[in-house]
C-alpha cells in the first residue's frame, strides 16, 4: 500500500476517532420522546430548535440535542436543561427560546447570550456565534416529524410531516401558565454542572 493510501486511511481513522470521542451517534432511529416547547405569549408549540445552519430536537430524558436536518445525528456533548439553558462539554453554550423568524412567525431558536443565533459543527456539536438574528432565518418548521428520518413515534414514511407522537410539551423560559406537573417533569432533565470553567456564547 502506498503512502498516499496509508495517509488517507490514517485521516479517516482519526476522523472516526473524533466522532467516537465526541459521543456522536450517526443515523440512529429516534425512539425517545422529544421536547415540544410552548410559547406562553402566542400559545405556539414547536418541537424543532433552529440553529443558524441546522434544525435540531431535544430528547426528553437525556436532554441531548439531535441534528434532524439531513442525516439524524445525536450530539451527546450537547445538553439542554430544565431552564432551557444549553451546555457543550458541560460548559454553558447559550439557551433555547422563542423568537420571531424572518417570516414574522414564532419559532424556537438556539441563541447566544447576546440574542444572536448559534451555529454548530453538525458532527461534533461545537457551537459558535453566527452573528445572525432570528429574523435572518426563514422557512422555519415546528413539526419534528417533517425532518426526522426514522422514528416509530412518527408515521412510517420518513420525514413526511406525519402527525407524530413522542412529544413532551414543556413551557418556555418563563413557564407562565404551565401546569405544575409539567414544571415538575421539566426538573427531571439533567442538572447543570457548576464546577467547570464557564463558556460564554
Measured between alpha carbons, how far is 51 from 97 in angstroms, rounded to an integer?
A: 11
pLDDT at 9 exceeding the cut of 90: no
* Contacts of 25 by beta carbon, 8 Å cutoff, 6+ apart: 73, 74, 76
Residue 125 grid coordinates: 456539536
* Contacts of 113 by beta carbon, 8 Å cutoff, 6+ apart: 94, 95, 200, 201
Residue 28 grid coordinates: 440512529
pTM of the full structure: 0.70
Task: Grade residue 102 by pLDDT with cuts at 50, 70 and 90.
Answer: very high
Residue 143 grid coordinates: 413539526
Query: Across all residues in the chain, what is the average pLDDT?
Result: 74
**The predicted structure's pLDDT at residue 146:** 92
Pairing status of strand 34-38 against strand 85-88: unpaired
Amino acid at each position: 500500500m502506498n503512502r498516499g493510501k496509508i495517509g488517507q486511511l490514517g485521516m479517516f481513522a482519526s476522523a472516526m476517532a473524533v466522532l467516537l470521542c465526541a459521543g456522536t451517534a450517526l443515523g440512529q432511529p429516534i425512539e425517545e420522546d422529544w421536547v415540544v416547547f410552548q410559547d406562553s405569549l402566542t400559545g405556539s408549540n414547536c418541537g424543532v430548535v433552529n440553529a443558524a445552519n441546522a434544525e435540531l430536537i431535544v430528547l426528553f430524558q437525556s436532554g441531548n440535542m439531535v441534528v434532524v436536518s439531513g442525516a439524524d445525528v445525536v450530539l451527546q456533548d450537547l445538553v439542554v436543561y430544565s431552564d432551557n439553558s444549553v451546555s457543550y462539554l458541560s460548559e454553558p453554550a447559550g439557551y433555547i427560546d422563542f423568537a420571531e423568524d424572518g417570516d414574522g412567525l414564532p419559532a424556537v431558536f438556539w441563541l447566544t447570550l447576546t440574542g444572536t443565533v448559534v451555529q454548530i459543527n453538525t458532527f461534533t456539536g461545537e457551537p459558535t456565534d453566527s452573528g445572525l438574528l432570528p429574523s435572518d432565518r426563514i422557512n422555519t418548521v415546528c413539526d419534528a416529524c417533517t425532518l426526522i428520518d426514522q422514528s416509530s413515534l412518527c408515521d412510517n414514511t420518513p420525514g413526511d410531516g406525519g402527525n407524530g407522537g413522542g412529544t413532551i410539551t414543556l413551557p418556555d423560559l418563563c413557564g407562565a401558565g404551565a401546569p405544575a406537573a409539567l414544571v415538575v417533569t421539566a426538573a427531571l432533565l439533567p442538572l447543570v454542572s457548576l464546577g467547570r470553567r464557564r463558556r460564554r456564547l
